[in-house]
C-alpha cells in the first residue's frame, strides 16, 4: 500500500512548510516535490497535514460498561478526532489492577488494529485507597499508575505509592481531588491534593503527571514545582481551556473565567505539557443521574484550534506540540515529528471552513457533550494509522 499526499501544508512542532509526502507500507518514505506512482493520491491543497494526536487520558469503559463505550467504538471515535494513540484510565469493571485485566485490554486493543491503545494500572488495589501489594506483580509494559476517577486521599498511601513507583520506574497520573472536601468546595478539593502531590514528588523524586489541571492555583503549583525541579508534567482538557460558568457536570468542574485565563497562560508559558480530552462517555440515563464527564475525542482539535490558534493565543506548531509531540514523549512513544522513516500516523485537517458540532454525528457510543451546536474551525478530514487511511470524513 502506498499513498501520495500532494501540495499539503505540513505542520509538526518544529516544521511549517508546503510540499508533497509519500508513504509506503507504514512509513513516511519521502518529503519534497514528488512524483511517485502511488496506490492512492490525496489532494492536500488548502489542508494541513499533522502528526496524528495522542491522548494521555481517556475512558473507553471496557470491560464493564460496554453500553457507554467499547475498545472498538472508542477507537473509532479517536480516529474520527485525528487520534491514533490513547492512554486508557483504569476505572473499569473489573478495575485495571491485575495483570489479567491489563493484558486482556492491551491484547484486544492490538487485535483491533485501529489505533495504539495503552493503559494505566491502578495505584491501589480495587481503588481502595490503601493497598499497594498488587504492584509487586506489575506487567512490564506499564508506564503509569493511576486511580483516576477517584484519587488517593491518604498522605501515607501516596507517599508509599510514589516511592514504589520510583522503584519500579513508572510514573503516577494524579486525579487531584479530596473527596471529603468536594461537596464543600470543589476548588480546594483539587488544589490541596495538587499541592500535596507536587510537594511529595519533590521529596521522593517520583515521576508525576497531573491530570486535568483546572484552577489558577493548581496551574501555579505545577509551575513552581517545575521550577523547583520536581519531575512533574501536566495536562489540561479542551473544556477547561474554553468553557467557564457553564452548567455541565464534569470532574473537575467547569471553572471561572479567571481559571480559564490561568490555564491558557500555562499553555503559553510551557507550564502545561499537553492537552488531554478526559473522554468520559456516559449514557443519557447515567448523565441524568449525575454522572460526571463528557466525550471529547471527536471535538478536541476543533475546540483547541478555535480557542487557541484562531484567536492568536498560540500558533499551530505549538498546538501540534501539545496534542502530539509532548503527550507522546510523556507516554514514551516515538511520535510527533513528520520526517522520513517515521511511522506514518498522520491527520489531515481543514482549518479554513467553519462548521457546527452535531452530537448526533459522533462515532462514540455516547454523545454527552456540551459542545453540541458550537461553531468551530478545524475539521478532521482523514486519519492515517500505520500508513493506512483508517478514517475519512
175 in contact with Zn ion (CB under 5 A): yes
- Of ligand DOR, Zn ion, none, which one does residue 59 interact with (CB within 5 to 8 Å by kind)? ligand DOR
148 in contact with Zn ion (CB under 5 A): yes
Active site residue 334: no
Q: How far is the CB of 265 from ligand DOR (least distance, A)?
A: 23
Q: Which residue is nearest to ligand DOR (CB)?
A: 293
Q: Which is nearer to ligand DOR, 85 or 92 (CB)?
A: 92
**What is the rounded CA–CA span in Å between residue 253 and residue 314?**
25
* Cell numbers for 145: 499508575
Selected catalytic residue, list 278, 286, 334, 372: 278
Q: Give the SS3 label for residue 111.
A: helix
**What is the rounded CA–CA span in Å between residue 392 and residue 350?**
12
**Are the CB atoms for 205 and 232 separated by under 8 Å?**
no
235 in contact with Zn ion (CB under 5 A): no
**Are the CB atoms for 349 and 378 separated by under 8 Å?**
yes
- Of Zn ion, ligand DOR, none, which one does residue 343 interact with (CB within 5 to 8 Å by kind)? none
Q: Which is nearer to ligand DOR, 116 or 190 (CB)?
A: 190
The single-letter DSSP state of residue 139 is -
Using CB atoms within 10 A of its CB, is residue 67 exposed (0-12), middle (13-18) or buried (19+)?
middle
174 in contact with ligand DOR (CB under 6 A): no
- Of Zn ion, ligand DOR, none, which one does residue 280 interact with (CB within 5 to 8 Å by kind)? ligand DOR
Q: Which is nearer to ligand DOR, 127 or 385 (CB)?
A: 127
CA gyration radius for the chain?
Answer: 20
Dihedral of CA 358/360/364/370: which sign? positive
Q: Which is nearer to ligand DOR, 129 or 292 (CB)?
A: 292
**What is the rounded CA–CA span in Å between residue 304 and residue 275?**
9
**What is the rounded CA–CA span in Å between residue 275 and residue 297?**
11
Within 320-379, which residues bind ligand DOR (CB under 6 A)?
none
Within 212-271, which residues bind ligand DOR (CB under 6 A)?
250-251
**What is the rounded CA–CA span in Å between residue 33 and residue 21?**
8
279 in contact with Zn ion (CB under 5 A): no
Q: How far is the CB of 299 from ligand DOR (least distance, A)?
A: 15
CA 150-71-68 angle, to 5 degrees, is 60
59 in contact with ligand DOR (CB under 6 A): yes
* Cell numbers for 72: 472498538
- Of Zn ion, ligand DOR, none, which one does residue 91 interact with (CB within 5 to 8 Å by kind)? ligand DOR
Judged by the rule CB under 5 A, the positions of this chain that interact with Zn ion are 148, 175
Judged by the rule CB under 6 A, the positions of this chain that interact with ligand DOR are 59, 91, 148-149, 175, 250-251, 278, 280, 292-293
Residues involved in catalysis? 278
Amino acid at each position: 500500500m502506498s499513498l501520495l499526499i500532494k501540495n499539503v501544508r505540513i505542520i509538526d512542532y518544529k516544521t511549517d512548510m508546503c510540499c508533497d509526502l509519500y508513504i509506503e507500507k507504514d512509513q513516511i518514505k519521502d518529503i519534497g516535490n514528488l512524483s511517485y506512482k502511488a496506490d492512492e493520491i490525496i489532494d492536500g491543497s488548502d489542508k494541513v497535514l499533522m502528526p496524528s494526536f495522542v491522548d494521555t487520558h481517556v475512558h473507553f469503559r471496557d470491560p464493564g460498561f460496554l453500553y457507554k463505550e467499547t475498545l472498538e467504538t472508542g477507537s473509532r471515535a479517536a480516529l474520527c478526532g485525528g487520534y491514533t494513540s490513547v492512554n486508557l484510565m483504569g476505572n473499569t469493571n473489573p478495575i485495571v489492577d491485575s495483570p489479567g485485566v491489563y493484558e486482556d485490554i492491551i491484547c484486544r486493543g492490538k487485535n483491533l488494529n485501529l489505533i495504539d491503545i495503552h493503559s494505566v494500572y491502578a495505584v491501589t488495589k480495587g481503588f481502595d485507597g490503601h493497598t499497594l501489594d498488587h504492584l509487586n506483580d506489575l506487567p512490564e509494559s506499564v508506564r503509569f499508575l493511576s486511580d483516576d476517577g477517584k484519587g488517593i486521599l491518604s498522605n501515607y498511601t501516596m507517599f508509599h505509592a510514589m516511592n514504589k513507583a520510583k522503584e519500579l520506574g513508572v510514573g503516577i497520573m494524579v486525579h487531584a481531588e479530596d473527596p471529603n472536601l468536594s461537596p464543600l468546595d470543589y476548588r480546594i478539593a483539587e488544589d490541596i491534593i495538587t499541592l500535596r502531590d507536587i510537594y511529595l514528588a519533590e521529596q521522593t523524586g517520583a515521576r508525576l503527571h497531573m491530570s486535568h489541571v483546572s484552577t489558577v492555583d493548581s496551574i501555579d503549583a505545577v509551575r513552581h514545582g517545575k521550577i523547583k525541579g520536581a519531575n512533574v508534567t501536566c495536562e489540561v482538557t479542551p473544556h477547561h481551556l474554553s468553557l467557564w460558568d457553564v452548567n455541565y457536570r464534569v470532574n473537575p468542574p467547569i471553572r471561572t473565567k479567571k481559571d480559564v485565563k490561568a490555564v491558557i497562560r500555562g499553555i503559553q508559558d510551557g507550564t502545561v505539557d499537553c492537552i488531554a480530552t478526559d473522554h468520559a462517555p456516559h449514557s443519557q440515563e447515567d448523565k441524568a443521574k449525575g454522572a460526571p464527564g463528557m466525550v471529547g475525542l471527536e471535538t478536541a482539535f476543533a475546540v483547541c484550534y478555535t480557542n487557541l490558534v484562531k484567536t492568536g493565543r498560540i500558533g499551530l506548531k505549538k498546538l501540534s506540540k501539545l496534542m502530539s509531540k509532548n503527550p507522546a514523549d510523556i507516554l514514551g512513544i516515538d511520535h510527533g515529528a513528520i520526517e522520513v522513516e517515521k511511522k506514518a500516523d498522520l491527520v489531515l485537517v481543514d482549518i479554513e471552513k467553519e462548521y457546527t458540532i452535531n452530537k448526533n454525528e459522533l462515532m462514540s457510543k455516547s454523545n454527552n457533550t456540551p459542545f453540541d451546536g458550537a461553531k468551530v474551525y478545524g475539521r478532521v478530514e482523514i486519519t492515517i494509522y500505520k500508513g493506512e487511511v483508517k478514517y475519512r470524513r
